[in-house]
Amino acid sequence: MKLHILGTAGQLPTRTRSQNAYFLDWLYGGVLFDPGEGAQRQFTFAGISPGRIHKIFISHFHGDHCLGLPGIMQRLSLMELKHEVHIYFPEEGRPYFDALSIASKYTHRINFHLHPLHEGAVEETEDYRIEAYDLLHSTPTLGYRFIDKSRMHFRKELLEEMHLYGPILGELERNGKIKHQGKTIIRDELSYYSNEKIFAYVLDTGICDSIPKLIRNADLVLMEATYLGSEFALAEEFMHMTAEKAAEYAKDNNVKKLALTHFSERYKDLNLYQKAVEKTYKNTHISHDLDVIEF
């Protein structure tokens, strides 16, 4: 997977930080999270076509997480996409979604499939599962956990060695075994299982019991860090996370990589964040606009 960091600002954009927007380059279709103002332009700077969006997830309906949604919806409609686009959001925010979706006049050329959510299972196939968890914030807010399930893959070197190509591979995959060159070939003998892969999206929240469930054993966690520990009282008052607490969560829950974002405009030097977390959890990425994180 690749996560494209399109914007890293908190409530207010700065000269160097656009508002929230994150694009997950996923095997099952691109996923856009929380498009704030300027999201369309950030797609252009990142060299990504918005037409790659298959799903849009909104964590909550504060402006820095959703005011770019009307532009994105109109852009996708203008492109007349051939694939479906699904939009997921907390059910309590439906009035705000409805207002945003008709924020200006435009020609509706595609249908958007809406999924108002509560905490729980969002979607599951034989290949992946998506879960939603309630977070602690001043408006109903959901965090999201994406799980790529362990899957069987052919070992390419063995296929080449046995000269197995084309339709016969489809038969082997469907039936589990085939006859080839006078031998019975079993799929398991030519395959391996990939590891489960987990991505967790955690914006915005104060300290709460849902966070460990969201992030446990994740390969990558994207978490807000609006404040540094010196402003812990503000973080508690406004139900946001400090960088130090995010690092502690990552350390305690077997997270492989932590990426921090959603920085308050009060912090001009993001090196302060690196210094704040390096003793607690070294594998932390301090996000900048247009960063790409592979995992």
Give start and end residues of each alpha helix (H) in the chain. Answer: 39-46, 69-79, 94-101, 156-161, 167-175, 210-215, 232-238, 243-252, 271-277
209 is known as an active-site residue:
no
In sequence order, what DSSP letters do the residues of 79-90 get, joined into one string?
Answer: HT-SS-EEEEEE
Q: Which token pair is 49?
A: 């076509």
Tokens 């010196």: give the residue.
230
- CA–CA gap between residue 166 and residue 64 (Å, rounded): 49
How far is it, in rounded angstroms, from Cα 9 to Cα 62? 13
Half-sphere exposure of 22 (CA within 13 A, CB side): 33
Catalytic choice (64, 148, 204, 289)? 64
Cβ–Cβ under 8 Å, residues 285 and 3? no
Measured CA to CA in angstroms, residue 275 lies from 238, 244, 270, 281 at distances of: 24, 10, 9, 11
The SS3 call for residue 65 is helix
- Residues known to be catalytic: 64
